[in-house]
Structure 1
Amino acid sequence: MKTLYDVQQLLKTYGTFIYLGDRASDIAMMMLELDELQEAGVLEQRQYDSAKLILRHELKRSQSDNI
């Protein structure tokens, strides 16, 4: 997993489709969904860590683009 798209595809495999119309909000919601999947024991730790790292990077990038 290397991109935001990859994280979206991972979430889709669990029936989660996120579109709020705001990139930062979309990413924040994806982070919450990943947390829920991790707490439920559905995701492997490596998948979770990789996805969270990608989303944190994308969120920072999104926020710096808005400045």
Structure 2
Amino acid sequence: MYLCTACGNKTRFDVFESKRTRTFQHYSLGGEMNVEEEEILDGTIEKVVCRWCGSSESIVEQASMAPEDR
């Protein structure tokens, strides 16, 4: 979870992330592809931008809370 300290936003962010993954891809006889499994081998969050005010400097990461604690 993220929080924008500039405007108070807790729900809307653009997250720029690089990932290295292993996927199990299943192709139908008609040629349609479905990803049935995905394992994230490595990931890096490059930037988080607030959708409300556009700030990327005022974003702090918060520990996730259980739904009953929100």
Shorter-chain TM-score tier:
under 0.3
Q: Which has the higher helix share?
A: 1
Q: Which has the larger radius of gyration?
A: 2
The normalised TM-score by structure 1 is: 0.24
